[in-house]
Structure 1
Amino acid sequence: MRLYRHLSILLLVSLASYHADAQGCSDAGFCTMGAMKPDQNYSKRIAIKLRSIEFNYYKGTSLLTAVIQAATVDFNLGINDYSSFQIKLPYMWVSGNLGEVAGPGDISLSYTRQLKTYNGWVVNGTLGAKIPTGDSNETVNNEHTGGVDAPIHMYYQPSLGSYDAIAGISALSGKWLFATGIQVALTKNNNQFAWSGFPNYPDTEYLQSHDRGKELKRGIDVMFRVERNWRFTNFNFSLGALPIYRITKDEAIIPGTNERGKLPNTTGLALSVLGSFGYHFDVNNSVKIIKGIKVVDRDFNPDGLTRDEVVSVSYIYKF
């Protein structure tokens, strides 16, 4: 009977997630690394909290037609009672009106250290990096490209094609999580997408809504997270807000020229209101869903990171 109850709850959680309209992290992934992760389990010892393996399925739609899916293995390895190491290995597949692409996503690495405990609060700090698995110049060959290989927009790229540096800090209690972080792209990618690569696409206006950023170097992103968590014996749920602000302009080859420069209108705010639900079968096994609602988005998105609708479902095994 207990097993049946657990399986029923897992099924209900999965079904509820599948139909959710949401927006997750509209950045290059750093808001789910280390101290900046959502729905963290409160513990005064990082090793207890972070010795785990998580299997995650993610599905999201872009502002255009691209549908992004990813399966991720997330290892959290406690080094001692106060520090841990995280590695995330994603595989992504993307389909939309311009074509289909699949491949490994960028590798995320981070080190998290407990910095201080005070009056029921734990302060953690994270340093990390993202390692590209490609140069962000995957191509498609279909009826829209005239039968030749054409580089496809960043919405479709499994890899962002750049080395990124990441840092963050959080303050966590049994009820609240406050976190902030920064992500800096250290290199440009090799994306060569151009409208001219799809000469047979029937809707010129739609094609030109894919903002161009040849050999793009993303601007600096700063994130903030505030989250309220309600915890019970076998389940918990949370509500929160996630503003991400691009504080410097993207750089790329200026369309129509051979010169690199700053792209206009590439700074600004992306804001989501997020919610999560977790169910704990026992001390070792749990499931979690995260969903949200897009509130504010940047108008110009050559990096293809903006999501219009997202759902994330995870199974976590702690050891």
Structure 2
Amino acid sequence: MLAVFGLLTQSAVQAQGCSDAGFCTIGALKQHAQADSAKQRVTLLLPLGLGDQSVLVFTPGLQYDRIFSARWAIQAKLTANYASGDLGSVTGLGDVFLSGTYSFPAKARWRTGLTLGAKLPLSNANLKVNGNPLPMQYQSSLGTVDLIMGLSVNSSRWQLSAGWQQPLTGSNANMFLPGSDTRPEARAYPPSNQFNRKADVLGRAAYTLLNQSRLNLNIGLLGIYHLGQDTYNDQNSRSLAITGSEGLTLNATVAGWYNLSTKIRLGFTVGMPLIVREVRPDGLTRSFVFAPEVSWSF
């Protein structure tokens, strides 16, 4: 198992990861661990990645899950962000994610869950270093309020999910224009002044390879389709489309969990790209991604 884990982690060096706009890991859309009897769970999330232009990105999060009954569950998540690259280093609060999931009465061996949620920004996506605007690769949030919907169908081995994430508040407050920046390194980043991001749809298929009392391991395919070309405002306040920003990202994913005890569980997620979009001006591209987590049940 350790050899397989090491190989998969090495393969993630070119991973795109989730478009973490956020909906890959919310409610019923997240790649599933085995079910347990815990009614409440607190999870520490520690994703680490390497973005465009080798920007190091660390996005810790704290997540709370509460199961009220066989039908209803809620989830709340708070994130922050640290980014460091050739334009400087910056930290900031990220987003609050709130969601509720309804599980329909089970038929045969398949279970269906419907998730409705929202992403609420704690930053306007305009973090700066020494007064200089930073591109989206350094921002701790996309700076928009988003609606998230998802549907997941699961058996003991399979998970099939579909989701939609729609920005509701239009352009964010980012002010980065590489042509107006005196730093030579800035020319390598896409413009994002008054960045307006289009919606995403998600499709996931995952299969559980191991489902033991203490160890769970599954593999999957995660596809994210960006539904249109994002836009920005140039120095003359004209709205311009960013060519190549729409299209498909397809990843192979591996996720695993190990129960240290009845209360504590360790987990990880890694990914490998199969298809990528030409341009990711939202700053979500990762050439490396590894996301460990620790959860406490009570």
| TM-score, with structure 1 as normaliser | 0.85
Distance 2:101 2:7 in 1: 29
Moved more, 299-308 or 172-181: 299-308
Determine the structure 1 residue equivalent to 2:34: 41
Number of aligned residue pairs: give it: 292
* Structure 2: stretches of 5+ with no match in the other structure: none
Deviation of 1:86 (Å): 0.6
Distance 1:92 1:256 in 2: 28
Distance 1:262 1:49 in 2: 47
Counterpart code for 2:162: T
Moved more, 281-290 or 17-26: 17-26
Distance 1:121 1:242 in 2: 20
Matched, 1:234 2:210: no
Q: Is the 8 A contact 2:34 2:216 kept in 1?
A: no
Determine the structure 1 residue equivalent to 2:152: 170
Q: Is the 8 A contact 2:41 2:64 kept in 1?
A: yes
Q: Give 1:97-136 correspondences, 5 Å limit.
A: 97-136=86-125
| TM-score, with structure 2 as normaliser | 0.91
Matched, 1:317 2:296: yes
Runs (4 or more) in structure 1 with deviation over 3 Å come to 15-21
Determine the structure 1 residue equivalent to 2:182: 199
* Of 40, 63, 78, the match for 1:51: 40
Q: Give 1:22-37 correspondences, 5 Å limit.
A: 22=12, 23=15, 24-37=17-30
SS at match of 1:41: coil
Distance 2:183 2:200 in 1: 36
Deviation of 1:297 (Å): 1.5
Distance 1:257 1:68 in 2: 32
SS at match of 1:116: coil
Distance 2:255 2:237 in 1: 46
What is the root-mean-square deviation in Å for CA atoms of aligned residues? 2.2
* Of 138, 159, 175, the match for 2:127: 138
Determine the structure 1 residue equivalent to 2:79: 90
Determine the structure 1 residue equivalent to 2:65: 76
SS at match of 1:85: strand
Matched, 1:190 2:173: yes
Q: Is the 8 A contact 1:35 1:168 kept in 2?
A: yes
Q: Is the 8 A contact 1:17 1:311 kept in 2?
A: no
Q: Is the 8 A contact 1:100 1:140 kept in 2?
A: yes
SS at match of 2:18: coil
1:73-111, CA deviations, whole angstroms, 9 ceiling, x for partnerless residues? 110012333111111111210001111110111111111
* Structure 1: stretches of 5+ with no match in the other structure: 1-8, 142-148
Distance 1:296 1:209 in 2: 22
Distance 2:109 2:296 in 1: 26
Q: Give 1:57-72 correspondences, 5 Å limit.
A: 57-72=46-61
* Of 136, 139, 144, the match for 1:154: 136
Determine the structure 2 residue equivalent to 1:145: none
Deviation of 1:126 (Å): 0.3
SS at match of 1:208: helix
Counterpart code for 1:190: A
